[in-house]
């Protein structure tokens, strides 16, 4: 029997080898709390709805006054429209709000080894995602700004669940095609 036939793909989004396709919703969870209390478990639903590269991204950035600096040399701007839902799991758990921090979404090379710097901005693209506070049960869409190598259609988007404001049990990345 062939050993490669027995190998399974990693779960969708759990690795750069099996990123979530654009337009598909991935469900994941996070734990909130501290080491002295039972964790509060929340479900997240994340969908990358749309991306805009190059000139199209630059036009939107200019129209909103998002940044006055060009991307790094050899890079272009990329806007990603993301739907993000934060949902309490079950009854009896807490109802803590969740702030989606700047830098929780980042871009990376197709092999997952190179992480690209976030561009310097004056203000977040609208509707804003980074820095947004979500109440339990809330879902919304918004834009995030990144920079990726020019003419690279293989970069990945990563959501980093390791967040200093309380996630302590479920860490790691969720990977998306962009």
pLDDT digits (tens, 9 = 90+) for 2-58: 555 456 777 889 899 999 999 999 998 887 766 666 677 788 999 999 999 988 999
At 5, list the tokens. 């036939």
Residue 29 dihedral angles phi and psi, to the nearest 5° = -140, 160
**Residue 2 DSSP SS3:** coil
The region of weakest confidence among 32-46, 48-62, 72-86, 111-125 is 32-46
Nearest alpha-carbon partner for 110 in 24, 53, 26, 178: 178
Q: For the domain 13-177, what is the CATH code? A: 2.60.40.1240
pLDDT (0 to 100) of residue 162: 62
Q: Quick one: pLDDT band at residue 164, thresholds 50, 70, 90? A: very low
pTM of the complete model: 0.85
Domain ranges in the chain? 13-177
Residue 92 has pLDDT above 60, yes or no: no
Q: Can you tell me the distance from the alpha carbon of 171 to that of 87, in angstroms, rounded to the nearest whole number?
A: 17
Radius of gyration of the chain, Cα coordinates, nearest whole angstrom: 17
Contact 114, 154 (CB under 8 A): no
At 175, list the tokens. 């990977």
């Amino acid at each position: 029997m062939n050993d490669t036939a027995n190998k399974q793909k990693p779960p969708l989004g759990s690795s750069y080898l099996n990123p979530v396709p654009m337009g598909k919703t991935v469900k994941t969870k996070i734990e909130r709390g501290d080491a002295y209390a039972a964790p509060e478990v929340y479900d997240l639903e994340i969908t990358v709805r749309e991306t805009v590269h190059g000139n199209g991204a630059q036009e939107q950035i200019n129209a909103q006054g998002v940044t006055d600096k060009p991307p790094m040399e050899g890079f272009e701007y990329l806007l990603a429209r993301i739907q993000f839902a934060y949902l309490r799991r079950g009854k009896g758990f807490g109802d803590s709000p969740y702030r989606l921090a700047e830098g929780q979404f980042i871009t990376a090379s197709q092999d997952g080894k190179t992480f690209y710097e976030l561009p310097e901005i004056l203000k977040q693209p609208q509707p804003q995602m980074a820095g947004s506070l979500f109440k339990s049960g809330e879902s919304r869409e918004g834009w995030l700004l990144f920079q990726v190598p020019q003419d690279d259609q293989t970069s990945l988007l990563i959501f980093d669940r390791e967040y200093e404001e309380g996630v302590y049990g479920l860490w790691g990345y969720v990977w998306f095609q962009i």
